[in-house]
Structure 1
Amino acid sequence: MKQNFTVRRGALDGVEAFLSVAEHRSFRRAAAELGVTPSAISQVVRALEARVGAALFLRTTRSVGLTEAGERFLSRAKPAFEELVAASEVAGQLGERPAGLLRLAVPRSVVPILLEPLIASFCEAYPAIEVEIAVSEKLVDLAAEGFDAGVRMGEFIAADMVAVRLTPPFPFVVVGSPDYLSRRKRPERIDDLRDHACLRMRRSNGSVAPWSFVDGGKAVEAIVSGPLIAHDYPTVLGAAIQGAGLAQVPGPLAEAAVADGRLQALLTSFAVTTPGVFLYHPGKRQVLPKLRAFIEHVRYRSNGVPGIKATQRRLRERPDANHS
């Protein structure tokens, strides 16, 4: 297969040797600087001159000077080579220490659950890293759109991604406001949802998601109906707090509203548990330090984030009967 290269293969070979000879005006001193023999330097420069098609140096037994072609080559090659060296150093620094721009694609629901409690401490711990958070409910093509990683609930991560757990598993809970429940009979069974206004989510593929439960150890999907369809959980949760209907949302997202009485947890004995929140990235090679630092920071600090473990504990300690 024919390949078209902007720079011919091997065109950069010998440039460093040429620059060193041009600087010292000596093959011997250039060889000492680069740690090779004078004959090796001479061979490399001759090969470069052959590729260029012109003599670059005037050589005598006493001195080395530049030809006109050598002067022109030096004027362009030196700044270009210095830029290449600088580029290598900058790129190498990103591979050695946590620094640079960390771009993350996350769904809106993950921001209050995970990122809001942790982002300030991460930025303080790693001041050389800039964090950019792009909120999107879609499954973003990380490589195509220039993201270092994405954050999603586990069941929505493609099999070819490298997944890193950020939180323990947590339940999906059905919640309703005291005002709404004062006007409707409290649901005790999954079938009771037929008589309720249920706030629903539209998935990124366009379908409206059913509500998921576990009944007697078996997975159950309930087709519900109601006045609102949203594209993210925080919108659904906010509508439930305002009394628009019942919502099924990630437990940690509803934790604060349940704790302060704005919402009540319902059908907790039927709650399904999700795998938790995962960071995913396509890199099967070494992970850059900036991303590794973020992963380790979230893993370490998420144990203290209110809501994730508290939701599991609260659901175990507060069965539906306590709300009757």
Structure 2
Amino acid sequence: MRRNHLADLNVFLEVVEQGGFTRAAARLGTSQSAVSNSVKRLEAALGLRLLNRTTRKVSLTQAGERLADGLAVPLEEIDDQIAALSSLREEPSGLIRIAAPALAAETILWPRLSPLLVQHPDLRIELIVESRLTDIVAERFDAGVRLGESIDRDMIAVRIGPDLRMALVCSPSYLDAVSPPEHPRDLVEHNCINLRLETLGGYYVWEFEKEGRALNVRVDGRTAFNTPRLCCAAAVAGQGFTLLPEDHVQEDIASGRLVRLFEDWCSPFAGYHLYFPNRRQSSAALQSVVKTLRLR
């Protein structure tokens, strides 16, 4: 096979990883027909059918499965070598893909990275909001953002945000209508707004700590959401208690729309960190991103 088929091999692997031509085209920033033609060109060069195509799905042939299994690591190594070459340039360039939770993306990453793009015209940033624990290596991200306590030990982690605290809140109208809880465990008797976590598939178990004593409370209520913003809105509307990061509720507390309880049971915990594999740190583009985001 000629070296000019390397691009077609990369397209084929993207089709496999994305499960179809349409999603692969979106990921590669090209048309579905261009992706299809690239795979056809590769099949013609090999003299083998790599994909079984139907109107609903794409599946691998035996030859396609064998090729896909052998491609992932070599192509990733090529990407790493190309990324390493960029470190020889004085000007950061190329694409940096980052997976991050919405709060971190909106309040930390984008405000700091936007000026960086102005300074370096050849630098590109793709910021993908993910609430799940993304496998940044498998999904070809250059870096990810998580809370410090949830980062794998084999990753390099750089603090980009201060410690965080949770805040237990409800509306004044709800608190006036009930007997206020005297202890966090009393929340099981109240209407609470649950947050469903995509990372675990279930509801967030409310975590409290005071003077080194940890307490987990499994609450219940009439409403549940999978975004903190909706939990906050429901609390403002008088639907009950909710437990959210301070950043999500500070404005509503300051305005009086929400009141806070058991602040002494909400201890600080490690905030957001940028993390990435050790082999990625040689990229000049990633180095500039790390330097910009690092908490000073």
TM-score normalised by length of structure 2: 0.64
Residues 1:182 and 2:182 aligned together: no
Structure 1 position 94, deviation (Å): 5.4
Which stretch shifts more, 141-150 or 107-116?
Answer: 107-116
Structure 1 pair 110/238, CA: closer, same or farther in 2 (3 Å)? Answer: farther
Contact map agreement 1:197 1:244 (CA 8 A) in 2: yes
CA RMSD of aligned residues (A): 2.7
Contact map agreement 2:112 2:293 (CA 8 A) in 1: yes
Larger Rg, first or second structure (1 or 2): 1
Where 1:248 maps in the other structure, the secondary structure is strand
Cα-to-partner distance string for 1:117-161 (whole Å, 9 max, x where unaligned) = 434333334333222111111111212212111111122222222
Residues 1:114 and 2:108 aligned together: yes
Structure 1 pair 181/119, CA: closer, same or farther in 2 (3 Å)? Answer: farther
Distance 2:93 2:240 in 1: 46
Where 2:180 maps in the other structure, the secondary structure is coil
Where 1:237 maps in the other structure, the secondary structure is helix
Letter of the 1:202 counterpart: R
Distance 1:167 1:291 in 2: 18
Counterpart position of 2:207: 212
Residues 1:194 and 2:195 aligned together: no
Residues 1:289 and 2:288 aligned together: no
Distance 1:299 1:173 in 2: 26
Q: Please, which runs of 5 or more residues in structure 2 have no aligned partner?
A: 4-80
**Aligned with 2:85 (options 92, 115, 140):** 92
Give matches, 1:251-266, under 5 Å: 251-266=246-261
Cα-to-partner distance string for 1:234-279 (whole Å, 9 max, x where unaligned) = 3322322333222111122322322233322221010032211111
Structure 1 pair 231/126, CA: closer, same or farther in 2 (3 Å)? Answer: farther
**Aligned with 2:131 (options 109, 131, 137):** 137
**Aligned with 2:154 (options 146, 157, 160):** 160
Structure 1 position 222, deviation (Å): 0.9
Structure 1 pair 135/191, CA: closer, same or farther in 2 (3 Å)? Answer: same
Which stretch shifts more, 279-288 or 98-107?
Answer: 279-288
Structure 1 position 225, deviation (Å): 0.9
Distance 1:119 1:259 in 2: 29
Q: Please, which runs of 5 or more residues in structure 1 have no aligned partner?
A: 8-87, 304-324
Counterpart position of 2:293: 298
Distance 1:121 1:259 in 2: 30
Structure 1 pair 187/95, CA: closer, same or farther in 2 (3 Å)? Answer: farther
Structure 1 position 91, deviation (Å): 6.9
Structure 1 pair 180/117, CA: closer, same or farther in 2 (3 Å)? Answer: farther
Where 2:173 maps in the other structure, the secondary structure is helix
Letter of the 2:178 counterpart: R
Give matches, 1:1-324, under 5 Å: 92-93=85-86, 95-96=88-89, 97-203=91-197, 204-284=199-279, 286-299=281-294
Letter of the 1:290 counterpart: A
Distance 1:155 1:222 in 2: 20
Structure 1 position 224, deviation (Å): 0.9
